[in-house]
């Protein structure tokens, strides 16, 4: 049993449109069939009633012409009574007149009525007659002849070819009507399904159009039926956003909690280094200081990266002057650079460079670029910084005389935790260029590294001018 169930292919569920269409069409088909049979039945009955009416009128007209003669009943068939029977259709006509139970004229094998009706009006019945089937109208009259009441039975019969033809014609029309109705229903169903499902399509489109990190609540106006779905979706988005926020806070806290004790450890180690004369101990302490420095850097960059990731989801748009921003960062880096005797030379732009962006992110990017440049520059060297407006972009170029890329693909260096193969002796986490690349992407900016002639790297960072 289970094996069989396992092998059954899961059927793709019908789409809403298919369900709606199928159900609407099913209803339309049922109605069309119902319409066909109703029209057919009603029309058939109407045709029969009409023909019965004429047949009855003809029979009654003959009965009205019966007169009491001196010895017998006088019968005078009215011409028009028969003529009118041919007015609707070309049906065969038979008749029979019995006086006192004896056939006086007409077709004496015409079937008699099943029972005496006792009615004044005609009695109708259908019987097979000779090679065909006929509808018969029977009227009974009492005629007094020589003081004696004689029952006279008048039968007039007609074949039903005309009625059948009418019924068939009407049935064909009814079928056509039903088919037309169905076709119309098909078109209307398509339109109805489209219009009913349009809000769902619109909602799906609104959600699909969002960027991968857009975590705002969905606020598209939706019909009442979709409100729970949108509510659930927004609840989910809110939970996701909260979870991301918590992660962010956690990283910040963690970096902070790691950096503070590390700074303490480093200070203590440096004091110990100055006080110690034992070369072995000094060597160990230098190793400790180096490791602590590396850890502090990594923590800082982790924090930076977390901020970049966090803020690029909901960046602020500030109006900034890119030149002033770069000058600020240069000022903050200067002490670290002078420790290595690296000279930072900034050539400002000829004009102000107004840009729109997130101040914290842009500062983080510029700091990382400069940090790298200082870090990989040899002692007592120059790092040149130049600002310019080119192609409607604010461009920062940072040129160092460091160890260069050694033929590595610059793009591969911007991956998270990726470092070049020639930097083992320099402290680094591999997150710096990742941060720069992400900030550039968030600001519709560009970042590139190119090898300089004569050694070193030129880093170029640009964002659109306002």
Partner 1 sequence: MRRILCALAVILSPLCAAAFPVEEEHVFPGTGAGSELWILSTTDTEYFAPLLTAFQARHPSVTIRYTVTGSASVYTAVADEGVACDLAISSAMDLQMKLANDGFALPHASAAQLPDWAQWQDRIFGFAQEPVVLVASRKALEGLALPRTRRDLIDLLRDHPGRFEGRIGTYDPLQSGAGYLFATQEARQSDSFWRLAEVMGANRPRLYASTKPMLDDLETGTLALAYNVLGSYAATRAAHDPDVALIEFEDFTLTLLRTALIPKDARNPELAGMFIDFLLSPEGRRLSGQQGGLPPVNEAALVQTPRLRPIRLDPGLLVYLDRVKRRAFLEEWAAAVKQP
Site for partner 1, rule CB under 8 A? 75-83, 85-87, 90-95, 97, 104-106, 130-132, 161
Report how far residue 235's alpha carbon sits from residue 228's, in angstroms, rounded to the nearest whole number: 10
Minimum distance between the CB of residue 177 and partner 1, rounded to whole angstroms?
28
Q: Which is nearer to partner 1, 84 or 258 (CB)?
A: 84
Find tokens 């002057």 and name the residue: 321
Q: Which is nearer to partner 1, 100 or 199 (CB)?
A: 100
Rounded to 5°, angle at Cα 37 from 34 and 43: 130
DSSP result, 211-239: -TT--PPP-----GGGHHHHHHHHHHHHH
Q: Which residues on adjacent β-strands are paired with residue 345?
A: 384
Minimum distance between the CB of residue 93 and partner 1, rounded to whole angstroms?
4
Q: Which is nearer to partner 1, 39 or 93 (CB)?
A: 93
- Number of H helices and E strands in the chain, helices first, is 10, 14
Minimum distance between the CB of residue 82 and partner 1, rounded to whole angstroms?
5
Minimum distance between the CB of residue 81 and partner 1, rounded to whole angstroms?
8
The token pair at 138 is 């029977």
Minimum distance between the CB of residue 186 and partner 1, rounded to whole angstroms?
38
Q: Which is nearer to partner 1, 52 or 293 (CB)?
A: 52
Report how far residue 462's alpha carbon sits from residue 426's, in angstroms, rounded to the nearest whole number: 27
Minimum distance between the CB of residue 185 and partner 1, rounded to whole angstroms?
39
Instruction: Report residue 464 CA to chain centroid gap.
Output: 36
Given a contact cutoff of 8 angstroms between Cβ atoms, the answer to whether 124 and 118 are in contact is no
Q: Which is nearer to partner 1, 92 or 393 (CB)?
A: 92
Q: Which residues on adjacent β-strands are paired with residue 94?
A: 157
Q: Which is nearer to partner 1, 78 or 114 (CB)?
A: 78
Find tokens 């499902």 and name the residue: 197
The token pair at 439 is 């900030």
Backbone angles phi, psi at 60, to 5 degrees: -65, -40
What is the three-state SS of 24-89?
A: HHHHHHHHHHHHHHHHHHHHHHHHHHHHHHHHHHHHHHHHHCCEECCCCEECCCCHHHHHHHHCCC
Minimum distance between the CB of residue 91 and partner 1, rounded to whole angstroms?
8
Q: Which is nearer to partner 1, 132 or 347 (CB)?
A: 132
């Amino acid at each position: 049993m289970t094996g069989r169930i396992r092998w059954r292919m899961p059927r793709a569920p019908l789409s809403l449109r298919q369900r709606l269409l199928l159900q609407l069409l099913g209803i339309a088909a049922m109605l069309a069939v119902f319409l066909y049979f109703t029209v057919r039945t009603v029309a058939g009955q109407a045709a029969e009633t009409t023909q019965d009416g004429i047949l009855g009128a003809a029979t009654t007209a003959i009965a009205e012409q019966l007169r009491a003669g001196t010895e017998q009943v006088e019968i005078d068939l009215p011409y028009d009574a028969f003529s009118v029977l041919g007015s609707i259709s070309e049906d065969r006509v038979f008749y029979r007149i019995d006086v006192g139970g004896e056939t006086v004229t007409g077709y004496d094998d015409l079937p008699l009525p099943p029972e005496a009706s006792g009615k004044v009006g005609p009695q109708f019945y259908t019987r097979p007659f000779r090679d065909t089937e006929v509808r018969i109208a029977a009227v009974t009259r009492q005629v007094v002849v020589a003081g004696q009441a004689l029952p006279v039975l008048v039968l007039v019969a007609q074949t039903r070819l005309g009625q059948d033809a009418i019924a068939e014609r009407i049935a064909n029309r009814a079928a056509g009507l039903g088919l037309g109705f169905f076709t119309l229903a098909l078109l209307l169903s398509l339109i109805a399904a489209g219009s009913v499902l349009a809000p769902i399509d619109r909602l799906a489109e609104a959600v699909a159009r969002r960027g991968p990190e857009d975590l705002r609540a969905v606020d598209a106006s939706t019909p009442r039926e979709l409100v729970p779905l949108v509510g659930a979706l927004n609840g989910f988005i809110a939970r996701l956003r909260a979870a991301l926020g918590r992660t962010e806070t956690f990283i910040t806290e963690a970096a902070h909690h790691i950096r503070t004790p590390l700074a303490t450890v480093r200070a203590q180690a440096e004091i110990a280094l100055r006080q110690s004369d034992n070369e072995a101990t000094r060597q160990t302490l230098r190793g400790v200081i180096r490791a602590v420095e590396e850890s502090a850097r990594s923590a800082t960059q982790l924090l930076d990266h977390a901020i970049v990731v966090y803020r690029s989801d909901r960046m602020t748009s500030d109006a900034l002057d890119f030149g002033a921003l770069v000058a600020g960062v240069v000022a903050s880096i200067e002490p670290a650079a002078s420790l290595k005797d690296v000279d930072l030379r900034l050539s400002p732009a000829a004009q102000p460079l107004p840009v729109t962006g997130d101040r914290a992110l842009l500062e983080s990017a510029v700091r990382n670029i400069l940090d790298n440049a200082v870090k990989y520059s040899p002692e007592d060297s120059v790092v040149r910084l130049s600002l310019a407006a080119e192609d409607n972009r604010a461009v920062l170029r940072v040129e160092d005389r460091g160890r260069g890329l050694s033929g590595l693909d610059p793009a591969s260096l911007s991956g998270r935790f990726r470092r070049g193969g020639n930097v083992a002796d320099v402290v680094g986490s591999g997150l710096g260029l990742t941060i720069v690349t992400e900030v550039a992407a968030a600001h519709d900016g560009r970042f590139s590294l190119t090898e300089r002639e004569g050694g070193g790297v030129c880093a170029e960072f640009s964002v659109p001018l306002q």
